[in-house]
């Protein structure tokens, strides 16, 4: 069975480890957050200069620029198998449309900078942070949120296993982790612990409940195999 790749946003410490491979303290988490915000700040400065240059040397005729490129527009989003039209600005994030326009609040918003994985949803079967994904870009794709529940056997198995294996302390990370674990269990109902850690490497649990979360995924996998 092929090894599951780590998520691209997996936070790492100085030794290159994700929190899934070592105990994480509150201090570790604060340090990770400060480092991430520093990187993001630098990117804004560089991007700002690049944007200015593009404006100065750009050759696009003015007539090709819409009067208001940020004007809201109607897009159709397919969420949990149902198509819904929503009005969004081109810069509105998918997490905000799901939570604020569609009332799907099981998708959590915490860091809002693609670091913690709380907002993970599935887009065409792939785990994606909805706080880093524009809603307009999601039009025409299949979006799955934790609200799909019993309609998806894998999501259902994970949700059923969660209270049995004590997945949550505060539970805030749980919906995003269930979404992140779903693609793994769809492909492989007999994963190793290393597979589970890799699949969840983009998610942080502030309560440090990592062992119980891994046990939840392993129990869900066992139940999907028929209890063997
Ligand atoms: S809210 Fe933390 S990754 Fe999106
Ligand atoms: S159980 Fe509290 S953040 Fe994970």
pLDDT tens, residue by residue, 46-57: 333 333 334 444
Residue nearest to atom 3 of ligand 1 (CA): 114
Question: Whole-angstrom Cα distance, residue 129 to residue 126?
Answer: 10
The H or E element that residue 174 is part of is: helix 174-187
* Torsion, Cα of 184, 178, 118, 170 (10° steps): -140
Q: Does ligand 2 have an atom closer than 6 angstroms to the CB of 19? A: no
Question: Whole-angstrom Cα distance, residue 197 to residue 192?
Answer: 9
Residue nearest to atom 4 of ligand 2 (CA): 205
**For the domain with range 73-224, which CATH number is right: 3.40.50.1220, 3.10.20.30, 1.10.150.530, 3.30.450.20?**
3.10.20.30
Question: Whole-angstrom Cα distance, residue 21 to residue 199?
Answer: 13
Q: Which two tokens stand for residue 97?
A: 């449309």
Give bridge partners of residue 86 from the DSSP assignment.
75
Phi-psi region of 126 (alpha: psi -120 to 50; beta: other; left: phi over 0): beta
With the most atoms of ligand 2 within 8 angstroms of its CB, the residue from 175, 205, 211 to mutate is 205
Burial of residue 150 (number of CB atoms within 10 Å: 0-12, 13-18, 19+)? exposed
- The region of weakest confidence among 26-35, 69-78, 151-160, 194-203 is 26-35
pLDDT at 228: 78
What is the tens place of the pLDDT at every residue in 170-218? 999 999 999 999 999 999 999 999 999 999 999 999 999 999 999 999 9
**Domain residue spans of the chain:** 20-56, 73-224
CA angle 108, 111, 12 (to 5 degrees): 115
């Amino acid at each position: 069975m092929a090894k599951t790749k780590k998520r691209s946003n997996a936070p790492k410490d100085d030794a290159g480890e994700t929190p899934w491979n070592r105990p994480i303290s509150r201090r570790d988490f604060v340090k990770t957050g400060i480092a991430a915000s520093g990187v993001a700040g630098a990117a804004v400065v560089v991007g700002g200069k690049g944007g200015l240059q593009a404006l100065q040397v750009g050759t696009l005729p003015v007539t090709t620029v819409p009067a208001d490129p940020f004007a809201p527009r109607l897009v159709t989003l397919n969420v949990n198998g149902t198509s819904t039209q929503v009005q969004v600005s081109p810069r509105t994030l998918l997490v905000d449309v799901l939570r604020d326009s569609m009332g799907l609040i099981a998708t959590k918003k915490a860091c809002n900078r693609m670091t913690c994985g709380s907002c993970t949803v599935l887009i065409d079967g792939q785990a994606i942070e909805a706080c880093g994904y524009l809603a307009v870009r999601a039009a025409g794709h299949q979006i799955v949120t934790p609200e799909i529940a019993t309609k998806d056997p894998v999501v259902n198995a994970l949700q059923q296993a969660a209270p049995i294996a004590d997945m949550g302390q505060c539970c805030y990370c749980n919906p995003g982790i269930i979404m992140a674990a779903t693609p793994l269990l769809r492909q492989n109902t007999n994963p190793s612990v290393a597979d589970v850690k890799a699949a969840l490497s983009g998610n942080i649990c502030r309560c440090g409940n990592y062992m119980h979360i891994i046990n939840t995924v392993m129990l869900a996998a066992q139940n999907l195999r028929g209890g063997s």
